[in-house]
């Protein structure tokens, strides 16, 4: 049972639109996640496990999460540092990469931009 209104609205919509549309949406999100993972190949990515975002380990690359977030923004990549309200007690070394609404063509630019930010 979902315990929040947002989740309940989403579950109700999924039930109304039926299985084919839900399967198509899931397939697209999986495609987007696979492209994000491909772009981060060889780097410290924690893949999504059923969600719409993945975590990238900034500290494994010698940076703190806020600094990597700043550098990524200069490369036109929005990545939220997992500090303060986003995970300060468990995930401060990571930035969050949301892929759920990004077209494949934009995700295909991530690897180059990420590597420039790390340089």
Please give the pLDDT value at position 1: 44
Q: Count Cβ neighbours within 10 Å for each residue of 10-19 and write b for 16 or more, e otherwise.
A: eeeeeeeeee
- The CATH number of the domain holding residue 63 is 3.90.1150.10
What's the structural domain count of the chain?
1
**Using 50, 70 and 90 to split pLDDT, how confident is the model at 52?**
confident
DSSP H helical segments within 4-64, as ranges? 5-17, 19-39
What pTM value is reported for the model?
0.79
Please give the pLDDT value at position 116: 97
Give the domain range for residue 72. 5-118
């Amino acid at each position: 049972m979902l315990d929040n209104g947002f989740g309940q609205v989403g579950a109700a919509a999924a039930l109304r639109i039926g299985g084919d549309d839900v399967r198509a949406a899931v397939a697209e999100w999986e495609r987007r996640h696979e492209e994000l993972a491909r772009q981060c190949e060889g780097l410290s990515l924690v893949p999504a496990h059923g969600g719409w975002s993945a975590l990238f380990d900034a500290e494994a690359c010698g940076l703190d999460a806020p600094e990597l977030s700043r550098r990524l923004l200069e490369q036109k990549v929005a990545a939220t540092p997992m500090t303060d309200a986003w995970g300060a007690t468990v995930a401060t070394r990571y930035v969050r990469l949301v892929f759920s609404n990004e077209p494949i063509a934009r995700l295909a630019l991530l690897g180059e931009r990420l590597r420039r930010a790390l340089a």
